[in-house]
Structure 1
Amino acid sequence: MNADRAEMNAGVQSSGGPAEPAAPLAPGPGAGEKGLKAGALGLVSSVAMGLSSTAPAYSLAATLGLIVAGVGLQAPIVTMLAFVPMLLIAYAYRELNAGDADCGTTFTWASRAFGPRIGWMGGWGIIVADVIAMANLAEIAGIYGFRLLGFDSLAESRLWTTVAGVSWIAVMTAVCYVGIEVSAALQRWLVCAEVAVLALFAVMALVRVYADGPPAAIHVSASWFNPLHVPSAEKLTAGLLAAVFIYWGWDTAVAVNEETADSKHTPGRAAVVSTVLLLGIYALVATSAQAFAGIGTEGTGLGNTANSGDVLSGLGGAVFGTTGPGWFFTKLLIFMVLTSAVASTQTTILPLARTVFSMAAHKAVPSRFARVHSRFLTPTWSTVGMGLVSIGFLVLLTVISHDVLADSISAVGLAIAFYYGLTGFACVWWYRGLLTRSPRDLLFKGVLPGLGGLLMLSLFCYAAFVVYAAPDYGSTSYDLPILGRTGGVSVVGLGALLVGVVLMLVITREHTAALKLQRGLLPHHLPSLTGAEAASRYVPADSRSGVGGDWFDVIPLSSSRVGLVVGDVRGHGLRAAATMGRLRTSVRVLARLDLAPDELLARLDDVVGQTAEERAAEERAQGRGGGTPGAGGDEALGVTCLYAVYDPVSGRCSMARAGHALPVVVDPARGAVSRPGLPEGPPLGLGGAPFQSVEFQLPAGSLLALFTDGLVQAPDHDTETGIGLLTGVLAECRRPLEELCDRTVAELLPGPVDDDAALLLVRTRMLDEQQVAVWELDADPESVARARSVTSGQLVEWGLDDLSFTTELIVSELVTNAVRYASGGPVQVRLIRDRSLVCEVADTGHTSPHLRHAAADDEGGRGLFIVAQITQRWGTRYTSTGKTIWTEQPLPTAE
C-alpha cells in the first residue's frame, strides 16, 4: 500500500497535471493516513466529546420517565446496570483502537475480523443510529429553543419544530466542517456547564427531600438498588433497553481517534472514562429525581405519562422554585437540555461523518466521500452529505407521520445494540490468537468484550422479536405477510438494517469478484519438483482498498532448474487482479525461454511499458486523457517483482528484483538468517537503472522465503519489526514448510490485514552425483562417435537401455551441429537422470539452431526436426560463455 501511494504521487507529479484541488481525496485508507488533522485533541477534549455525544441532560429528560414506567422504584439500579454492557464494549473499543486507530471504528474492525460484508453492516449500523438520532435531537433542540424563549405555541407546531431542527442540523454541520478544534472547544464549555447544572439539580433535590420536600417525596431506600425487585424479566429488559440509550454516544471519543494525540491509547481511555463519569451522573440524578418526585402518575411524578418525554422541565420549577434565583435556575436547566441536544447533534455528526469518510477511503462507498478540506483538514463530502441526509430523514418522516418518527427514535436502540455487539465479537475474534498470551489479554481482549457482545446480542434479539414486535408497543404497527400484526418499532429498526443488507450485497460485489478472480489466477497447487520443495500462503486484505494483485509462482525450467517469482501489483479491485494474471502469464512465458533473471525483468518491463502506451493511446482516441503513458492508471506501472532461478545440479541461485523486498535465506547447518544483497532495480514500467542479477551458492536444505510487503507491514508493527518476526519463525528451518507457513501467518498477521500478503517458502535440494554425468569433448568430428559411446554406457549403468537408441541419435545430431557451427571451443555433453532424462550439449557458439522442414531434395536440415519428434521438450539456453541445447525424454515406466 505504501508503494502504491508513492507511485500514485510520483505519477501525479510526472504527468504535469493540475494543482491539488481544494478538497483532495484521502491520501490513504490506513489509520493516520487519511489526511485528517492529527494531534488536535487531548484526553480532556476526547472525554468531553464522549460525554457531549451522550447528551446527559436530554437523555435523562427523555428516558427517565420511560424507565420508571417499566421498572418502578428500581429505576436507579436499572440505570446503573445498563452501565455494565457499555463498560464491557468500551473495553472492546479500547483494545481494538490500540491495535488499529482507524476513524471507521466498527466498520474497519469488523471488516478485518469477519470480512468486508460484515464490516459494511457494522458501518451501516452506525449510519442508521446516528441519522435517526440526529433528526430526533435536532427536533428536540427546536422544541426546547422555543420553550426557552417563551414561544410555547411554536413548540407545539410540527412545521416550526421541523424548521428549527433543520436549522440546528445545518448550524452544527457547519461547526463540524470548519474544524475539529472548534468543535472540541465548544464541547468542553457546554459539557462542563451541563454537568454542573445537573449536579446542582441533584443536590438541591436531595436537600429538599430531607428538608421540606413535597408530599410525593420519598427517602432513598436500599431496595431501589436491588434488581430482584423488578416485577418481571420483560420489564427489566425494556428498562435496560431504555437505559442503554442514555449511555450511547461515548464512542464519539474513539471515532475522532485519528485527530487525537496518542491515537492508539488516548481515545480508548477517553471511552472508558466517559462511561464511568456517565454512571456517576446518571446514578446521582436518577436517584435524586425519584426521591423528590416519586413514581406517581400525577403531577410531577416520574410515572406520569404526560411528562415521560421530558421529566426535567417540570421538575426544574419544583426543585428550584419559580421566583427569584429559582426562576433563573429553572430556565438554566431548560437551557441545559437544549444545549445538551444541540451539543449531541454536533458530536453525532462527527462519528457519522468519519465512519462514512473511512468507508469511502476503504472503497466501501463512493470515493467522493473521502475528500478532505485542504485547510480545515476535515471530511468535506461526508460531513455535508450526512448533514443533508439527516435533514432529509427528519423532513421525510415528519411529513409521513410523526408517529413513525417517534417509533424510529425507539428503533435506534436496535442499531446501537447491533453495532456495539458486533464490536465486542470483533475484538474477541481479532485477538483470538493472543488470548493465551497473558491473563490481561484474556480478560480485556476476550472475556470482557465477549460478555459485552453477548449482552448486546441478547438485548437486540429480545427487543426486536419480543418487546418491540408486540403490536401494542409504540405508536404504530404494521400487518406483515406471514408474521401478522407487528410493532412499528421492530419493523422500522429491522427494516433499516435489512436495507443495509441489500446495499451491502450491491456494494461489496466488486470486492467478492476481485477476490474470486485473484484466487482463481494464483497457483492452486505448487508443482512437485526434485530440485526444491515449496509451500505458499496468500492472505487477502480485509477491505476493498487492500485487495490487489500479489502473486507468487514456482515454474519448472529446463535441466531440473526451478524458477521462483513473487510480485506485488499496486492498486486494488478487479483491474489489479486482472493485471496480476496478465503479468503472471507473461513471467511464465518468458521463463520458458530460459532467460536470466535480469533479462526476464527487462522483457517484463517492456511488456508493462507497451501496455501503458497502448492504454494511453486508447484514452487519447476516446478523448479521456492527455495521452501521457501511465496517466490512465495502469496498475502494472510500479509493480514490484523478484525473480530467481535455482539449479539443483550446481546449487547456484541467481536473482534479480524490480523494486521488491529482499528475500530471507536460512542456512540449514547453523540456522543463520541472512538477506542477500541484491541491487534494488526500479519498479516495472517506471524506467531507470537496468536490472542486475546476483548469483550465490545455496547449500542443500537451505530455506528461501520470498514475500510481498503486506506480510511484514501490519497495523501493529512496522516493516523492520515484521522482518524480525519473520526471521524468528524461519530460524527453526527444519520444521515442515506447511507448518512454517502457518506459523509465519499467525505470528505476523494475527489480526487485521490492510494489504494483500503473499508468502513463498522454498527448501532447496541437490541432485545426487550419481544422477549427473558430464564429458568434455574436443570440437572435432571424431568426438561424435565418442559422445555416442559414453552416452550409451551411462544409460546402461542407469538401467535405461530402452532410451539408448534415441539418446544416441540426439547426442549425435547435437554434437555434430556444435562441431560444425561453434567457434572451435570445447563441447560439453551432460546427462541428468531426474523425473525425465535430460540431455545437454553446450558449446561456445551463440548462433541459435532453428527447426525447419527440409524440402525433398535437401541434403540436410532434418536432424533437429528428428530430435524434436523423439523428445518431449527441447530448447536453447544461453550463458555467458556460449549456449546449451537441451532435450527431455520421459523415463520408461514399469509395466
Structure 2
Amino acid sequence: MDSDVKLFGGPVESAASLAPGPRAGEKGLKTGALGLFSSVAMGLASTAPAYSLAATLGLIVAGVGLQAPIITMLAFVPMLLIAYAYRELNASDADCGTTFTWASRAFGPRIGWMGGWGIIVADVIVMANLSKIAGIYGFRLLGFASLAESRLWTTVAGVVWIAVMTAVCYAGIEVSAALQRWMVCVEMAVLILFAVTALVRVYADGPPTAIHVSASWFNPLHVSSVKALTTGILAAVFVYWGWDTAVAVNEETSDSRHTPGRAAVVSTVLLLGIYALVATSAQAFAGIGTEGAGLGNKANSGDVLSGLGGAVFGTRGPGWFFTELLIFMVLTSAVASTQTTILPLARTVFSMAAHKAVPSGFARVHRRFLTPTWSTVGMGLVSVAFLVMLTVISRDVLADSIDSVGLAIAFYYGLTGFACVWYYRRLLTRSPRDLLFKGLLPGLGGLMMFSLFCYAAFDVYADPNYGATSFDLPFIGRIGGVTVVGLGALVVGVVLMLVITREHTAALRLQRGLLPHRLPPLTGVETASRYVPADSRAGVGGDWFDVIPLSSTRVGLVVGDVLGHGLRAAATMGRLRTSVHVLARLDLAPDELLAHLDDVVGQTAEEQSAEERAHGHGGGRPGTGGDEALGVTCLYAVYDPVSGWCSMARAGHSPPAVVDPASGDVSYPGLPAGPALGLGGAPFQSAEFQLPAGSLLALFTDGLVQARDHDTDTGLRLLAGVLTRYRRPLEELCDRTVAALLPGPVDDDAALLLVRTRMLGRHQVAVWELDSDPATVATARAAASGQLYEWGLEELSFTTELIVSELVTNAIRYASAGPIHVRLIRDRSLVCEVSDTGHTSPHLRNAATDDEGGRGLFIIAQLTRRWGTRYTATGKTIWADQPLPSME
C-alpha cells in the first residue's frame, strides 16, 4: 500500500482523483480484472452460505417443520426472477450503481436515490452484524468461550474484522477476488462433504434422531397454514441475498455487459443446489426435534451446523479436524461476506457520487489500485460507527436490526424488478424473449418482493411480540422493533432524498417550464415534438426546440443544445430561447440571427466568468462554471409556405433530416457547418432549399443520435429508417423515433422536432406589380378592394385601402426607382405587404400638431395587430397584419 495512504484516518487525497466520468466504464475502475469464475465466487461469498444455513435453518424448521427443504427451494424462485432483471439491465447499462442507476433511469432520480439508499442500509447493517459474528466465531475457534460472550470484546473483534476487510477491498479488486475464490471453494467443498457424510450415516449407522428422506418434505401443501408457509419463505428468501455483488463489480469485469448477469444467475442456481442438499441432509440426520441435536431445538437455532459437526464427523481423528473445519467455514463465511458486502456498498456510493447524488468526494479512485477510496473507507467507518452505536444502545436493538435488513433487501430487489419492466417497456413487444425476460419474469419477481416487504413490515415484524424489542408510537400503538428499525431507516432515506435531489428537481422543473408547453397551430406547417431528459441525476441539460410564427405566414424553426447540466444549463437555455424569439421577430435571415445570437452567448459567458472570478471559483476550465454559455450549438430555419422555400443556417449543429414526399427518400442537406456559438470562427452562412408540400423535416439534438449502444452514423441510419414511414401521424413518428433511437439509458438529454410542410393555395394569395408612379396608388387601392370582395372580407376594405395607400405612397416617395409589389395573404389573418427596392426602413414617430406628415405609420399601427419590415436580397418588404372579422 502506498505510504501516503492511510485507512481510518489520514489523507487519501494525494493517492486518488475524481472519477473521470459518470457513465458505465468511464469511472476509472480497473476494467477486465474479473472473469466469470471470479464473479460467481463473489456472488456466492457475499451470501455467506455456511453462516446463512447455520443461522437460518433452525428458524425455518421451527416454522414449517419437515417441509424446510421445499421452503428453502421455493425461496429461490423470487431470487432467480430478480437475477434475470439484473442480467437484462446490466446488459444494457453495466453501471456499478446497479439499482440506483437503473431505477433512476426508469423512474427518475428520487426513486433511484431510494434504491441506492436501500442497498446502503442493507449492507451497513449486515456488515456490522457479520463482523461481530466473525468475532464471536473467531473466539470460539481459538477456545476463548468467555470472550465470545463479552459484548466489549466481540465488538472490538468486529471492528478489527471490518478494518481488515476494508483494507483488502481498498488494495484492489483482484486481491479480493483471489481471496474469495479460495475461501468459497473450500467452503462449498466442506458443506458438500458435510451433506454427503450426513446422508450416508442416515442410511448406515445414523443416530436415533435420523429419519429417511421423504417425498412429502418437498410438498408445500403439507405446511400447516398459509401464514406458516409465507413466514417460512420470508425467513428462507434472504439466505440467497448477496449474489448481486457479482453485478455490483460489473465495471471491473471482462465483458461487463454479459459476464456479471450470467454470474448472478449461476450464483443463485448454485445456491439452490447447496441449500437444498444441506437442508435435506441436516434434517434427515438430526430430525426436527426440540431437544438435543434436533433442528427444532431453540438452543441451537442460532448455529445448527457447529452443533451437528461433531455428530456427523465424530470428535476423534479426522472427524475432529473436519468438525473444526466446519466451524472455521462458518467463521470464514461470515468474514468473506463482510468483505464482499463492502464491495457493492462502496461501489454503490461511488456511482452515486459520480452521478452527483452524494458529495463528489466519494467518487475518488486510487491512482494505482483503481479502487474507490473515500467510498470504501467511508462506508467502513460508517459500518464501524453503526456497530458501536447499536452495541452501546442495546444488544436487543442490534439483534432486531439483523431482521430489519430483510425489509431493505426486499425493497431494492423489488424496485429492480419493476425498474426492468419499465426500463424496457418499449421493447416488450419486440420478441417473445424480450417479453419473458425483460417483462414477465422481472415483473413477477418485483411483485413477490413487494408482497414479502408488505407482509413482513405490516404483519410479521410489526407484531410487538416478534423480535427482542417493541416501541409505543404515537397514533399507532405498540409496534415490533424490527418494523420500526427497518421502516425507520427507509424513512431517513426519504428525508435525505428530498434534500439531496432538490437541485435536480428544480432544474427539471425549470427546463420543462422554459420549453414550449404546446406548439402553436399554424397553417404553414404541422409539428410534433419530444424532449427526453437524461436519466442520471445531473442529466437535465439545455436542449431546446421552438416553433416561432413569423410575418407573412412564415415559420421559424429552431433547435439548440447548451453544454453542461443542471440549473445553470437550463437557465442558459432559457436566456438563449428568449433571445432567439426576439431576434426572430426582427425578421432576420438565419445567418444574421445566428451572428447576433453568437454575440449574446459571448457576452453571457463573459458575465458568468467574471461572476465566478469575483466569488473565487476561478474560470476558464473547460466544462465548468460559465462555460455552459460557450459552445452552444443551434440550427435555425425559416420556411415560407407561400413560395415553398426554406432557408437554414447552423452553428455547430447537425443538419436536419429531410424526407421527400414523392419518393420517401431521406437526406441530410449539406448546410455550411458554422462554428458553435461563442467560440468565434468563420461567419455563418445560410442555404436555401425548395420543399414541396408534404415534406418532412426532423430537427434534433445530438443526444438523440449519440446513444450508448450506437454511434452517430448508426443513429442517423436508425432515424432515416423511422422517417421512411413519413406518411404516419407525426405524434406516432415521434414515439417510434424515441423508441428506436433511445430504447435504453439516456446519458444526454435529447430534443426532437418533426415538421410537415404545407403550402398556401393560389386562392389565398394575390400579387400585383406596380410602377413607381403616384398614379398607381389608386390602382393598388382598387385591386386590394376587389380582392377582398372576392374573399368575402368587405369589412376590411376601408382599413386595407388605407394601409395599401400609405405603404405604396411611402415606397414611391422614399424608395429608389424600380417596381413595387403589393401582396395580400389570407390565412388566419389578413397580411398586406408592399415590397420595393429601397433599403431604408420607416420608423414610427409621434408627429407634432404642426407637422405635415409622419402620421401614416402611426395610423397603420392603430389599425393593425402587428406591422414590421424585413429585408430581402432586392430591397425590403413592409407588412401589416390584420385580424379577420371572425377572430375579433
Common topology (TM > 0.5): yes
Query: For 2:725, what is the secondary structure of its paired residue?
Result: coil
**1:89 corresponds to:** 82
In the alignment, the residues of structure 1 paired with residue 627 and residue 473 of structure 2 have an alpha-carbon distance, to the nearest angstrom, of 51
Deviations 1:686-710 (A, max 9, x none): 3333322221110011111112233
Q: CA deviation at 1:781?
A: 4.6
Amino acid at match of 1:774: V
Note if contact 1:131-1:389 (Cα within 8 Å) is conserved in structure 2. Answer: yes
Note if contact 2:103-2:416 (Cα within 8 Å) is conserved in structure 1. Answer: yes
Alignment of 1:753-792 (within 5 A): 753-792=746-785
Q: CA deviation at 1:659?
A: 2.3
In the alignment, the residues of structure 2 paired with residue 707 and residue 629 of structure 1 have an alpha-carbon distance, to the nearest angstrom, of 25
Q: CA deviation at 1:802?
A: 3.9
In the alignment, the residues of structure 2 paired with residue 223 and residue 807 of structure 1 have an alpha-carbon distance, to the nearest angstrom, of 97
**1:529 corresponds to:** 522
Amino acid at match of 1:238: T
**1:200 corresponds to:** 193
Q: Kindly tell me: are residues 818 and 488 of structure 1, through their superposed partners in 2, closer, same or farther at Cα, counting changes over 3 Å? A: same
In the alignment, the residues of structure 2 paired with residue 229 and residue 862 of structure 1 have an alpha-carbon distance, to the nearest angstrom, of 100
1:139 aligns with 2:132: yes
In the alignment, the residues of structure 2 paired with residue 23 and residue 550 of structure 1 have an alpha-carbon distance, to the nearest angstrom, of 34
1:346 aligns with 2:342: no
Amino acid at match of 1:248: W
**2:860 corresponds to:** 867
Note if contact 1:544-1:572 (Cα within 8 Å) is conserved in structure 2. Answer: no
Query: For 1:773, what is the secondary structure of its paired residue?
Result: strand
Q: CA deviation at 1:269?
A: 0.8
1:250 aligns with 2:240: no
Deviates more, 1:83-92 or 1:114-123: 114-123
**1:437 corresponds to:** 430
Q: CA deviation at 1:523?
A: 1.4
Deviations 1:173-196 (A, max 9, x none): 222222222221221121111111
Deviations 1:313-351 (A, max 9, x none): 222223233333333222222222222111111111111
Note if contact 2:612-2:626 (Cα within 8 Å) is conserved in structure 1. Answer: no
Of 537, 545, 552 in structure 2, the residue corresponding to residue 544 of structure 1 is 537
Q: CA deviation at 1:818?
A: 3.2
1:565 aligns with 2:529: no
Q: CA deviation at 1:453?
A: 1.8
Query: For 2:310, what is the secondary structure of its paired residue?
Result: helix
**2:810 corresponds to:** 817
Q: CA deviation at 1:583?
A: 1.4
Query: For 1:199, what is the secondary structure of its paired residue?
Result: helix
In the alignment, the residues of structure 2 paired with residue 207 and residue 478 of structure 1 have an alpha-carbon distance, to the nearest angstrom, of 49
Note if contact 1:97-1:105 (Cα within 8 Å) is conserved in structure 2. Answer: yes
Q: Kindly tell me: are residues 855 and 774 of structure 1, through their superposed partners in 2, closer, same or farther at Cα, counting changes over 3 Å? A: same
**1:679 corresponds to:** 672
**2:9 corresponds to:** none
Amino acid at match of 1:413: G
**1:118 corresponds to:** 111
Query: For 2:650, what is the secondary structure of its paired residue?
Result: strand
Amino acid at match of 2:431: S
Q: Kindly tell me: are residues 435 and 632 of structure 1, through their superposed partners in 2, closer, same or farther at Cα, counting changes over 3 Å? A: closer
Note if contact 1:234-1:467 (Cα within 8 Å) is conserved in structure 2. Answer: no
Query: For 1:586, what is the secondary structure of its paired residue?
Result: helix
Alignment of 1:595-744 (within 5 A): 595-625=588-618, 632-744=625-737
Q: Kindly tell me: are residues 489 and 623 of structure 1, through their superposed partners in 2, closer, same or farther at Cα, counting changes over 3 Å? A: closer
Q: Kindly tell me: are residues 881 and 431 of structure 1, through their superposed partners in 2, closer, same or farther at Cα, counting changes over 3 Å? A: same
Deviations 1:615-654 (A, max 9, x none): 2222333333257898533423232221110011111111
1:412 aligns with 2:405: yes
Seq. identity, %: 86
Query: Please, which runs of 5 or more residues in structure 1 have no aligned partner?
Result: 1-19
Q: CA deviation at 1:579?
A: 2.0
Deviations 1:520-550 (A, max 9, x none): 2221221121211112222333342222232
Note if contact 1:615-1:629 (Cα within 8 Å) is conserved in structure 2. Answer: no
Q: CA deviation at 1:252?
A: 0.8
Q: Kindly tell me: are residues 795 and 443 of structure 1, through their superposed partners in 2, closer, same or farther at Cα, counting changes over 3 Å? A: closer
Of 274, 284, 291 in structure 2, the residue corresponding to residue 281 of structure 1 is 274
Of 517, 520, 543 in structure 1, the residue corresponding to residue 513 of structure 2 is 520
Amino acid at match of 2:139: F
Q: CA deviation at 1:53?
A: 0.7
Query: For 1:760, what is the secondary structure of its paired residue?
Result: strand
Amino acid at match of 2:411: F
**1:890 corresponds to:** 883
Q: CA deviation at 1:472?
A: 1.6
Deviates more, 1:581-590 or 1:775-784: 775-784
Q: Kindly tell me: are residues 554 and 21 of structure 1, through their superposed partners in 2, closer, same or farther at Cα, counting changes over 3 Å? A: farther
1:482 aligns with 2:468: no
1:226 aligns with 2:219: yes
**1:591 corresponds to:** 584
Note if contact 1:616-1:631 (Cα within 8 Å) is conserved in structure 2. Answer: no
Note if contact 1:100-1:716 (Cα within 8 Å) is conserved in structure 2. Answer: no
Deviates more, 1:122-131 or 1:105-114: 105-114
Amino acid at match of 1:492: V
In the alignment, the residues of structure 2 paired with residue 115 and residue 293 of structure 1 have an alpha-carbon distance, to the nearest angstrom, of 51
**2:449 corresponds to:** 456
Note if contact 2:620-2:627 (Cα within 8 Å) is conserved in structure 1. Answer: no
In the alignment, the residues of structure 1 paired with residue 165 and residue 651 of structure 2 have an alpha-carbon distance, to the nearest angstrom, of 51
Q: Kindly tell me: are residues 690 and 337 of structure 1, through their superposed partners in 2, closer, same or farther at Cα, counting changes over 3 Å? A: farther
Query: For 1:635, what is the secondary structure of its paired residue?
Result: helix
**1:853 corresponds to:** 846
In the alignment, the residues of structure 1 paired with residue 802 and residue 425 of structure 2 have an alpha-carbon distance, to the nearest angstrom, of 64
In the alignment, the residues of structure 2 paired with residue 790 and residue 848 of structure 1 have an alpha-carbon distance, to the nearest angstrom, of 25
Amino acid at match of 2:641: P
**1:356 corresponds to:** 349
**2:147 corresponds to:** 154
Q: Kindly tell me: are residues 652 and 156 of structure 1, through their superposed partners in 2, closer, same or farther at Cα, counting changes over 3 Å? A: same
Of 423, 428, 434 in structure 1, the residue corresponding to residue 416 of structure 2 is 423
**1:389 corresponds to:** 382
**1:310 corresponds to:** 303
In the alignment, the residues of structure 1 paired with residue 882 and residue 110 of structure 2 have an alpha-carbon distance, to the nearest angstrom, of 52
Amino acid at match of 2:828: R
Alignment of 1:59-78 (within 5 A): 59-78=52-71
Q: Kindly tell me: are residues 655 and 432 of structure 1, through their superposed partners in 2, closer, same or farther at Cα, counting changes over 3 Å? A: same
Query: For 2:671, what is the secondary structure of its paired residue?
Result: coil
Deviations 1:437-476 (A, max 9, x none): 3222222222222222222222222222222122221111
Q: Kindly tell me: are residues 633 and 27 of structure 1, through their superposed partners in 2, closer, same or farther at Cα, counting changes over 3 Å? A: farther
Q: TM-score, normalised by structure 1?
A: 0.93
Q: CA deviation at 1:560?
A: 1.1
In the alignment, the residues of structure 2 paired with residue 682 and residue 878 of structure 1 have an alpha-carbon distance, to the nearest angstrom, of 25
Amino acid at match of 2:142: L
Amino acid at match of 1:428: V
Equivalenced residue count is 876
Deviations 1:212-241 (A, max 9, x none): 333333332222222222222222222212
Note if contact 1:616-1:629 (Cα within 8 Å) is conserved in structure 2. Answer: no
Q: CA deviation at 1:497?
A: 1.6
Q: CA deviation at 1:843?
A: 2.8
In the alignment, the residues of structure 2 paired with residue 387 and residue 297 of structure 1 have an alpha-carbon distance, to the nearest angstrom, of 40
Deviates more, 1:683-692 or 1:400-409: 683-692
Note if contact 1:113-1:751 (Cα within 8 Å) is conserved in structure 2. Answer: no
Amino acid at match of 2:821: Q
Q: TM-score, normalised by structure 2?
A: 0.94
Note if contact 1:244-1:413 (Cα within 8 Å) is conserved in structure 2. Answer: no
Query: Please, which runs of 5 or more residues in structure 2 have no aligned partner?
Result: 1-12
Q: Kindly tell me: are residues 168 and 764 of structure 1, through their superposed partners in 2, closer, same or farther at Cα, counting changes over 3 Å? A: same
Query: For 2:629, what is the secondary structure of its paired residue?
Result: coil
Note if contact 1:112-1:753 (Cα within 8 Å) is conserved in structure 2. Answer: yes
Q: Kindly tell me: are residues 315 and 657 of structure 1, through their superposed partners in 2, closer, same or farther at Cα, counting changes over 3 Å? A: same
Query: What is the CA RMSD across the aligned residues, in angstroms?
Result: 2.4
**1:298 corresponds to:** 291
Q: CA deviation at 1:773?
A: 2.7
Alignment of 1:20-99 (within 5 A): 23-99=16-92
Amino acid at match of 1:608: V
Alignment of 1:325-344 (within 5 A): 325-344=318-337
Note if contact 2:20-2:26 (Cα within 8 Å) is conserved in structure 1. Answer: yes
